[in-house]
Homo-oligomer: A and B are copies of this chain.
Amino acid sequence: MDITAIAKNFTEFYYSQFALGRLNLAPLYRPHSMLTWEGKQFQGGANIVQHLNELPFEKVAHKISTFDAQPSSLDMSTLLISVTGLLRVDGDQELQFSQVFVLAKEGESFYVLNDMFRLNLG
């Protein structure tokens, strides 16, 4: 299993869909999936995507600076990804962010088990 390739494909897909339409992200989550967004907690795909969709901006672009991936269980059933980067919403100035995902295996693909997002405001 090429963990780095999976992580790269996932992050590219996630941020491209985030820009195209945040509701597109719903299939990535399951009922027990968790999001912590700037300290606020949400559980389940419907709640998670509703929150993302209600964020008060129209346009958003993420630029990935670094991403790291590691297997996170002895049987390779989960995968930890850490992303740092810059994002720009509605033409404002760029902001640094950190986002962490744990992907869990389901058949031949993965879903998002854990998702944590923080702006790095210093």
Residues of B within 8 A of A82 (CB): 36, 82, 98, 100, 116, 118
Contact-size category for A: 20 to 34
Provide the A96-122 mask, 1 if CB < 8 A to any CB of B, else 0: 101010100000000001101010111
Provide the A61-92 mask, 1 if CB < 8 A to any CB of B, else 0: 00001101011111000101010101000000
Give, as a whole number of angstroms, the nearest-CB distance from A60 to chain B: 18
At the interface, yes or no: A56 with Cβ under 8 Å from chain B? no
Chain copies in the assembled complex: 2
**Which secondary structure dominates where chain A touches chain B?**
strand
Q: Are B73 and A122 closer than 8 Å at their CB atoms?
A: no
Q: Are A68 and B120 closer than 8 Å at their CB atoms?
A: no
Which residue of B72, B96, B120, B121 contacts A114 across the interface (Cβ within 8 Å)?
B72
Q: Are B122 and A80 closer than 8 Å at their CB atoms?
A: no
Residues of B within 8 A of A71 (CB): 34
- Interface residues of A, Cβ cutoff 8 Å to B: 32, 34, 36, 39, 65-66, 68, 70-74, 78, 80, 82, 84, 86, 94, 96, 98, 100, 102, 113-114, 116, 118, 120-122
